[in-house]
Amino acid sequence: MDEQKKTENSPNSTNQSGEAQQKPSEGGEQKSFRKPYYNRKRRYSYRQNRASGFQQINTAFKKLSVVVPLFNEEESLQPLANEIRKAIKPINIAYEVILVDDGSTDNSLKIIKEICKPDKRFRYVSFRKNYGKSAALQIGFKEATGDVVVTMDADLQDDPNEIPNLLKKLEEGFDLVSGWKKKRHDPFIKRVSSRFFNFITRLMTKIKIHDFNCGLKAYRKEVTENIKVYGELHRYMPVLADWEGFSVSEIAVNHHPRRYGKTKFGTSRFFKGFIDLITVLFSTRYIKRPLHFFGFFGAFAFFVGIIVNGYLSYLWIIGESLSNRPMLFLGILLIIVGVQFFSVGLLGEMFVHNSMNEKEYFIKEKG
């Protein structure tokens, strides 16, 4: 599988693969087909299943862990569990579903318990308080025992029928396959701002995918074991994975409007999102070499300050008065800020030096 690995993640190739046909495996048993109740629209996987007579889908993976973070989603949970069961049934794979209750204050926990009791493939973890989606995902990853992990939202917006397509794309050799909500069913303002967000992230990270923050994603176990998701970094999973050296791709997936309740992320998401992008950029690119980050700005400010004040000193020497030159303050400010930035970078380097730990280098293979 590893030799097959590609780093290709061009929009075109992923776009095509989004439309890729699934090959029905030979000798699969015939299954009756029922249209998922929450989606009355024509769907790709629906057509596909009908065309293939609902045959068994084989996969190279042994066990699938589905991780579902949820916060106050009581109405969606039962239908979601049924949909997940139905969607995975045709796949030839053992599976578990880990429901992570992120401190819900409604009846979600009660319903989760009802779901898990009769069906041992369903497990749950419940937080005492609401820590956020990233924390819920991190705990879900820790609990997962499968060699492939699929995450999806609990609000029925993500379609579990996409799981076979995600696995298929992973089998091509990728380590993380992200869903791309190509036709998105969200309010206008959210769609536009999300486009902008994705554009900026694509620009800054050079990762050529359309949709960084899709709840539906598939990961090889190595990825979930090695990336740390905290704060609100769940928006940047592909970035975290890419910078640890994993290959990332995407496929177009179905997306549905929210059925029950309302979104858990208000307008603060935009502000927080950018702060998090800076965190991601810093922590993945510069955390091991802080002086490269602070040193650059520090040195730049310092030298501009020196030039400004050097020029003013020259004027003073040839007899001009500096009493009415605001530029002097700019020069002084730049020199002080420059020295401070540089010092912060040096202190950072000292921390890195003292905390260097070989465990943080992820070795893919050893001969």
Least distance in angstroms from the C-beta of 90 to Mg ion = 26
Q: What values do phi and psi take at 231, rounded to 5?
A: 55, -120
For residue 150, the SS3 value is strand
CA-nearest of 188, 185, 175, 154 to 61 is 175
Least distance in angstroms from the C-beta of 191 to ligand UDP = 11
Q: What is the distance of C-alpha 96 from the center of its chain? A: 21
Is the distance from CB of 244 to CB of 285 less than 8 angstroms?
no
Choose the contact partner of 312 out of Mg ion, ligand UDP, none; CB within 5 to 8 A by kind. none
Nearer to ligand UDP, 215 or 298 (CB): 215
CA-nearest of 106, 23, 91, 36 to 256 is 36
CA-nearest of 203, 269, 214 to 238 is 214
Interacting span for ligand UDP (CB under 6 A) from 114-122, 152-160, 281-289, 348-356: 152-160
Rounded CA separation 32/306 (Å)? 78
The tokens describing 306, both together, are 């020196």
Least distance in angstroms from the C-beta of 203 to Mg ion = 25
Choose the contact partner of 73 out of Mg ion, ligand UDP, none; CB within 5 to 8 A by kind. ligand UDP
Binding mask 179-208 for ligand UDP (x = CB under 6 A): ------------------------------
The tokens describing 229, both together, are 């998701």
- Kindly tell me which residue out of 74, 83, 153, 250 binds ligand UDP, with binding defined by CB under 6 A: 153
- Residues with Cβ within 8 Å of residue 54, at least 6 apart in sequence: 30, 31, 32, 33, 90
Q: Within 13 Å, how many C-alpha atoms sit on residue 283's CB side?
A: 17
Rounded CA separation 8/169 (Å)? 12
Residues 146-205 close enough to bind Mg ion by CB under 5 A:
153, 155, 157
Q: For residue 94, what is the enclosing H or E element? A: strand 94-101
Contact between 102 and ligand UDP by CB under 6 A: the answer reads yes
Choose the contact partner of 130 out of ligand UDP, Mg ion, none; CB within 5 to 8 A by kind. ligand UDP
Choose the contact partner of 136 out of ligand UDP, Mg ion, none; CB within 5 to 8 A by kind. ligand UDP
Nearer to Mg ion, 157 or 201 (CB): 157
CA-CA-CA-CA torsion sign (205, 210, 214, 216): negative
- Kindly tell me which residue out of 25, 130, 198, 340 binds ligand UDP, with binding defined by CB under 6 A: 130
Nearer to Mg ion, 16 or 78 (CB): 78
Binding mask 63-82 for ligand UDP (x = CB under 6 A): ------xxx-x---------
Rounded CA separation 135/198 (Å)? 22
Nearer to ligand UDP, 266 or 326 (CB): 266
Q: Footprint of Mg ion on this chain (CB under 5 A)? A: 153, 155, 157
Q: Footprint of ligand UDP on this chain (CB under 6 A)? A: 69-71, 73, 102, 130, 132-133, 136, 153-155, 157, 215, 263-265
